[in-house]
């Protein structure tokens, strides 16, 4: 026969109470860990906000790179314009150098083939009094012809050629600016140099005027080089 079921003892109650207590503790710890995770997550959000400028700079550089890659034709046009301008400058320098070189060749040819043979032939007829005047007239004609050749491409080239004449002219024409300045300085010290200074000044004015007049007589032709920048 079955007997009455005994009531659970206090030990048994503790046996069932302990798992319940441990389960509550575990639940509490889980909530605590979640809170900690959320707390650290908010800190990570603050750090990302602190470095927002760095992020924007990287994004901006990335966008600029994308824009440069999207506009290769614009960069190509800029390089094309720069190359065209550089080529134009080189071409103009070459034209100026060629004009000056042709001017020197023309002056040498006129001096040795025309001026000096004519002076040697006409000197006995003109005499010693008129020989300097004839020499100056032939020098003016030679410079006018030289200016006409130099100014064929650009009249500004005549100024460049005149500057080269002022530096050194190989004795082809009676141009000597240093001597003219020396006569000017001597004329301030003594009045006897004034006549020589005025004569030399008029001579230089006539020679340079002949050069520029010859360049002006020739119709300047612009170099056949155009910039197509469109």
What is the number of other CB atoms lying within 10 angstroms of the CB of residue 146? 29
pTM for this model (two decimals): 0.60
- Residue identified by tokens 């048994």 is 12
Q: What is the pLDDT of residue 47?
A: 46
Give the tens place of pLDDT for each residue, 37-49: 443 444 444 444 4
- Domains of the chain, by residue range, sit at 94-217
Give the 3-state DSSP-derived string for 185-208, with helices as H, strands as E and coil as C.
HHHHHCHHHHHHHHHHHHHHHHHH
Q: Is the pLDDT higher at 16 or at 21?
A: 21
Give the distance, in angstroms, between the CA of residue 116 and the centroid of all CA atoms in the same chain.
46
pLDDT greater than 80 at residue 201 = yes
Highest-pLDDT range among 18-27, 36-45, 138-147 = 138-147
């Amino acid at each position: 026969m079955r007997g009455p079921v005994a009531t659970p003892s206090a030990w048994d109650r503790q046996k069932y109470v302990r798992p319940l207590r441990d389960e509550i503790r575990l639940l509490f710890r889980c909530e605590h860990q979640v809170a900690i995770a959320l707390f650290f997550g908010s800190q990570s959000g603050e750090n990302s906000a602190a470095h927002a400028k760095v992020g924007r700079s990287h994004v901006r550089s990335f966008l600029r790179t994308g824009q440069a890659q999207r506009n290769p034709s614009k960069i190509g046009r800029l390089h094309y314009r720069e190359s065209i301008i550089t080529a134009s400058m080189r071409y103009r320098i070459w034209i100026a150098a060629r004009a000056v070189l042709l001017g020197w060749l023309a002056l040498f040819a006129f001096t040795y083939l025309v001026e000096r043979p004519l002076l040697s032939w006409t000197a006995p007829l003109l005499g010693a009094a008129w020989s300097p005047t004839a020499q100056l007239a032939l020098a003016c004609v030679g410079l006018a012809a030289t200016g006409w050749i130099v100014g064929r491409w650009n009249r500004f080239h005549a100024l460049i050629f005149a500057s080269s004449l002022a530096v050194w002219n190989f004795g082809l024409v009676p141009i000597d600016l240093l001597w003219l300045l020396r006569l000017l300085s001597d004329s301030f010290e003594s009045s006897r140099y004034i006549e020589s200074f005025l004569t030399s000044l008029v001579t230089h004015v006539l020679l340079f005027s002949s050069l520029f007049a010859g360049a002006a007589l020739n119709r300047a032709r612009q170099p056949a080089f155009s910039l197509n920048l469109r």
